[in-house]
C-alpha cells in the first residue's frame, strides 16, 4: 500500500518534471538534440516505472517492517534536529550548534543527560579545534554573535 | 614489461611521505568504518571525500586515501561479523555463518587472523589483476565513440537493475532519479538553466558531495535509529591469536579460488563484494564440504568469503579507472571524487595521468601490508571500538558529515539541501529502493546525456548510430540479457514459492 501511495505521488512529480522540461529550448541550436530531450526521456522511463509500481498485481503482501515502539516519533524528532542543525550551523556557529545537536541526537539514541552533555561539549570543542585550527577547514563561529 | 616499469614509477609516487600517511590513515579509518555495523565502504568514502577535498589534498593523495578506506572496510567488516554476529558491511554477511560459531567455540582469534590473511592474499591477487588487465582494457576502450559509451552506460545500469535489490523496477527508478538529479543546473551545450527555479545556488547543479552525504550519511543516521544493537556484548577475542601453518594450508586453495572468482565478479558492473562473497561461499560449500561442517564454524567458510570480498573490491576499480563507468556505489563515489578534481576517468587516464593511476595501484600493495599488520596484532583495538555507544557515535558522524559539506562551499543552502536529500533517501530506503544505483545515475547523468547528444550530433539526429557498431550491438544485447535473465529467474522462483491454487 505504501508503495502504491509513493508511486502515485512520484507519478505526479514526474508529470511536473516533464511539464517543466518541455519548456526548455535552446536559443541557438547547433545540434539535433536540445536541452529538453534527455529530461523528457527520463520522465518517460520514470512514468512507466511508477505506473508499474502503482498498478502491478501483487502476489506477496508487502508491508513495511513495523517501526519499534515510538519509532516514528523518534524518527521525526531526529529529522527535526538535523534540519535545525543545518539552519543553525552558520547562525549560532559550529561549536554551539554541535553541542545542541549532540544532546538532541544522543538523547534519541538513549544516552543519559550527563553523558550526552559531556559528549556534546567534547565533540563541539574538539572537532572545531581539529578542523578549524589544525586542518585549516574554516568553520563558522556564528553570525549571530558578531552583530 | 611496460606495466612493470609503470608500476615501478607508481611505487615512487606512493612512497612519498604524504601518500604513505594517506594510505595509513585510510587503512585505519576504513577498518573502523568497516567494523562498525551499519557503516560500509560507501559511507566511509562519502564522509572522508569532502574532508580530503577541503584539506586541499592533491588528487592522487585523495584517491589513495579513499581507496585505502574502501579496502580497509572489506577487512574491517569481518570483525563485527565474527565477534557479534552482525556483518560490519554488506560484504561480510557470509562471514557470520562460520565466523561467529568459531568465536563461540573460543576460536575468535583464529577466525580473525585467518580472515585477515585470506583478505590480504586476495587483495594482492586483485591488485596484480589490476596491473595485468587494466591497461589492456583501457587500450581497447580507446576505440569507443560516444555511441559506444552511451551503450556501455546503459549496460552498467542494466547490470545493476538486474542484480541489485529485490525489485528491478525500483532499482531502475532509483537510477532514473539519480540521472534526473544530475540534469539540474546550467546545460553546458545550450546555456539553458534547467530545474534551478531561479536559485543561484543551483546554477552549477547539485553538488556531488551534497548528494552523497545526504543519501549515505544523513539517511544512515535515521536508519540507525532502528538498530537493536547498542554496543556491548562483544565476544572476547580470547585463545590463540594466530592461525597455524596447518590451518593456512587447509584454507589455501579455497582462498585462491575465491580470490580469482571474486575478482572477476568485482570487475562486472553491478555485482560487488556482497554478491562475490555469497557466490564463493556457495561454491566452496559445494566443492569441499563433505562432512557438512560449513555453517558450524568451518575455518574454510571464513577464509573464502573474506577473500572474495577483498578481491572484488579491487576488481571494481577496473571499469571505473579504464572505462570511466563505475560498477558499484563505492567506485561511483570515487569517480565523483575525481570529477571534483576535474579529472575524468576513462581510457585516456592511463596516458594522461600515469602517476595517479599507477600511484594508486602501487599504494594498494602498500596499503594491504599496512592492513595486514593492523588487522592481526591490533585487532583488539578495533574490537573495542564496537563498544562505542550509538549516542556518541551518531552525533559524531552527523557533525563530521556537516563539516564535510560545509567545507565545499560554506553555504547554509548546501546543508539544508543535504538534510532534505537525506530525509528523501531515508524514505526511499524504507521503501526498499537501493541507493547505489541512484548515486551511479547521478555520477553518470551528465556523461550519459553528453554522449547521447554527441552521438546524435555526429549522425545528424539519426538514432541508428546507437546501433552502428559491433560493440554497441553487443552491449545492447548484453544489457537486455542482464535485465531479462534475473527477471525470469525471479519469476520462476516466485512461482515456486506460491503455489497457485
Contact B457 A138 (CB under 8 A): no
Q: Which of A118-127, B1-10, B384-393 holds the top average pLDDT?
A: A118-127
Size of interface A-B (CB pairs under 8 A): 185
Query: Any idea which residue has 612493470 for its cell?
Result: B4
- Interface probe with B: pick from A29, A51, A86, most Cβ of B within 10 Å: A86
B243, B121 contact by CB (below 8 A):
no
Residues B409-448 have pLDDT tens digits of 888 999 999 999 999 999 998 888 888 888 888 988 888 9
Smallest Cβ–Cβ distance between A3 and the set B189, B422, B431 belongs to B431
At A68, the pLDDT band (50, 70, 90 cuts) reads low
Model pLDDT, residue A135: 83
Closest-CA residue in chain B for A2?
A: B431
Percent of chain B with pLDDT over 90: 24
Model pLDDT, residue B236: 66
pLDDT at A24 over 90: no
At B486, the pLDDT band (50, 70, 90 cuts) reads confident
Residues B277-314 have pLDDT tens digits of 888 988 888 888 888 888 888 899 999 999 999 999 99
Contact A109 B176 (CB under 8 A): no
Closest-CA residue in chain B for A62?
A: B431
The CA distances from residue B169 to A49, B156, B245, B359, B477, in Å, are 6, 15, 49, 40, 19
The CA distances from residue A98 to A144, B35, B422, in Å, are 16, 25, 18
Model pLDDT, residue B180: 92
pLDDT at A30 over 60: yes
Model pLDDT, residue B104: 85
Cβ atoms < 10 Å from Cβ of B61: 25
At B500, the pLDDT band (50, 70, 90 cuts) reads very low
- Rounded to 5 degrees, φ, ψ at B194 are -110, 130
**Considering just the CA atoms, what is the radius of gyration of chain B in Å?**
22
At B234, the pLDDT band (50, 70, 90 cuts) reads low
Contact A33 B456 (CB under 8 A): yes
CA distance B115 to B376: 9
B316, B272 contact by CB (below 8 A):
yes
Quick one: cell of B30?
576504513
At A60, the pLDDT band (50, 70, 90 cuts) reads very low
Average pLDDT, integer, range B50-55: 84
State the DSSP string of B229-246: --S--PPP--S--S--HH
pLDDT at B147 over 60: yes
Which positions in chain B touch A29 (Cβ < 8 Å)? Answer: 190
Which ipTM value was assigned to this complex? Answer: 0.89
Closest-CA residue in chain A for B420?
A: A83
For chain B, give the mean pLDDT: 86
Q: By C-alpha distance, which of B140, A46, B299 is closest to B291? A: B299
Average pLDDT, integer, range A15-42: 83
Residues B335-360 have pLDDT tens digits of 888 888 888 888 888 888 888 999 99
What is the enclosing helix (H) or strand (E) of B185? strand B185-186
CA distance B88 to B78: 6
Closest-CA residue in chain A for B50?
A: A137
Q: What is the DSSP letter of A137?
A: -
Contact B415 A89 (CB under 8 A): yes
At B225 the three-state DSSP class reads coil
Cβ atoms < 10 Å from Cβ of B166: 10
Model pLDDT, residue B121: 94
What is the enclosing helix (H) or strand (E) of A130? none
Model pLDDT, residue B242: 81
Smallest Cβ–Cβ distance between A127 and the set B225, B399, B415 belongs to B399
- Interface probe with B: pick from A16, A23, A31, most Cβ of B within 10 Å: A31
pLDDT at A83 over 90: yes
Amino acid at each position: 500500500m505504501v508503495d502504491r501511495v509513493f508511486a502515485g505521488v512520484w507519478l505526479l512529480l514526474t508529470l511536473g518534471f516533464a511539464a517543466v522540461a518541455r519548456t526548455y529550448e535552446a536559443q541557438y541550436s547547433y545540434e539535433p538534440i536540445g536541452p529538453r530531450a534527455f529530461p523528457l526521456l527520463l520522465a518517460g522511463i520514470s512514468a512507466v516505472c511508477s505506473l508499474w509500481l502503482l498498478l502491478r498485481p501483487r502476489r506477496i503482501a508487502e508491508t513495511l517492517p513495523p517501526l519499534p515502539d515510538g519509532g516514528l516519533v523518534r524518527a521525526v524528532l531526529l529529522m527535526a534536529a538535523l534540519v535545525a542543525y543545518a539552519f543553525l550551523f552558520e547562525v549560532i556557529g559550529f561549536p554551539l550548534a554541535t553541542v545542541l545537536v549532540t544532546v538532541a541526537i544522543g538523547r534519541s539514541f538513549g544516552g543519559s543527560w550527563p553523558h550526552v552533555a559531556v559528549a556534546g561539549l567534547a565533540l563541539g570543542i574538539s572537532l572545531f579545534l581539529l578542523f578549524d585550527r589544525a586542518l585549516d577547514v574554516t568553520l563558522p563561529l556564528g553570525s549571530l554573535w558578531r552583530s | 614489461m611496460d606495466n612493470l616499469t609503470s608500476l615501478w614509477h607508481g611505487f615512487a609516487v606512493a612512497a612519498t611521505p604524504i601518500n604513505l600517511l594517506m594510505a595509513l590513515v585510510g587503512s585505519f579509518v576504513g577498518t573502523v568504518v568497516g567494523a562498525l555495523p551499519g557503516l560500509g565502504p560507501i559511507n566511509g568514502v562519502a564522509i572522508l571525500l569532502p574532508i580530503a577535498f577541503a584539506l586541499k589534498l592533491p588528487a592522487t593523495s585523495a584517491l589513495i586515501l579513499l581507496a585505502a578506506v574502501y579496502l580497509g572496510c572489506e577487512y574491517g567488516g569481518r570483525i563485527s561479523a565474527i565477534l557479534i554476529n552482525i556483518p560490519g558491511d554488506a560484504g561480510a554477511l557470509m562471514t557470520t555463518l562460520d565466523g561467529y560459531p568459531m568465536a563461540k567455540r573460543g576460536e575468535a582469534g583464529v577466525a580473525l587472523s585467518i580472515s585477515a590473511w585470506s583478505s590480504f592474499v586476495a587483495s594482492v591477487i586483485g591488485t596484480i589483476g589490476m596491473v595485468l588487465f587494466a591497461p589492456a582494457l583501457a587500450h581497447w576502450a580507446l576505440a569507443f565513440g560516444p555511441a559506444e559509451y552511451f551503450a556501455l552506460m546503459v549496460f552498467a545500469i542494466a547490470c545493476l537493475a538486474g542484480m541489485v535489490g529485490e525489485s528491478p523496477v525500483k532499482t531502475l527508478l532509483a537510477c532514473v532519479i539519480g540521472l534526473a538529479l544530475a540534469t539540474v543546473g546550467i546545460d553546458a551545450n545550450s546555456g539553458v538553466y534547467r530545474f534551478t527555479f531561479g536559485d543561484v545556488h543551483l546554477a552549477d547543479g547539485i553538488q556531488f558531495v551534497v548528494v552523497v552525504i545526504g543519501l549515505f550519511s544523513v539517511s544512515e543516521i535515521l536508519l540507525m535509529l532502528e538498530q537493536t544493537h547498542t554496543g556491548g556484548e562483544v565476544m572476547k577475542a580470547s585463545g590463540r591469536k594466530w592461525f597455524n601453518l596447518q590451518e593456512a594450508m587447509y584454507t589455501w586453495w579455497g582462498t585462491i579460488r575465491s580470490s580469482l572468482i571474486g575478482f572477476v565478479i568485482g570487475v562486472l558492473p553491478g555485482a560487488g563484494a556482497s554478491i562475490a562473497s555469497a557466490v564463493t561461499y556457495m561454491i566452496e560449500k559445494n566443492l569441499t564440504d563433505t562432512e557438512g561442517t560449513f555453517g558450524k564454524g568451518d575455518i574454510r567458510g571464513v577464509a573464502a568469503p573474506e577473500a572474495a570480498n577483498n578481491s572484488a573490491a579491487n576488481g571494481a576499480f577496473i571499469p571505473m579507472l579504464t572505462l570511466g563507468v563505475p560498477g558499484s556505489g563505492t567506485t561511483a563515489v570515487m569517480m565523483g571524487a575525481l570529477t571534483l578534481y576535474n579529472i575524468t576517468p576513462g581510457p585516456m587516464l592511463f596516458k594522461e595521468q600515469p602517476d595517479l593511476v599507477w600511484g594508486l595501484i602501487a599504494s594498494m600493495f602498500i596499503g594491504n601490508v599496512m592492513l595486514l599488520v593492523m588487522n592481526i596484532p591490533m585487532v583488539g583495538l578495533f574490537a573495542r571500538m564496537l563498544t562505542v555507544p550509538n549516542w556518541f557515535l551518531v552525533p559524531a558522524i552527523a557533525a563530521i558529515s556537516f563539516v564535510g559539506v560545509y567545507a565545499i562551499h560554506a553555504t547554509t543552502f548546501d546543508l539544508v539541501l543535504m538534510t532534505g536529500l537525506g530525509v528523501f533517501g531515508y524514505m526511499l530506503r524504507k521503501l526498499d529502493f537501493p541507493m547505489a544505483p541512484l548515486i551511479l545515475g547521478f555520477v553518470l547523468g551528465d556523461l550519459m546525456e553528453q554522449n547521447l547528444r554527441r552521438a546524435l550530433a555526429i549522425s545528424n539526429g539519426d538514432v541508428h548510430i546507437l546501433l552502428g557498431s559491433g560493440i554497441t550491438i553487443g552491449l545492447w544485447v548484453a544489457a537486455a540479457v542482464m535485465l531479462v535473465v534475473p527477471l525470469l529467474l525471479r519469476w520462476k522462483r516466485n512461482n515456486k514459492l506460491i503455489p497457485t491454487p
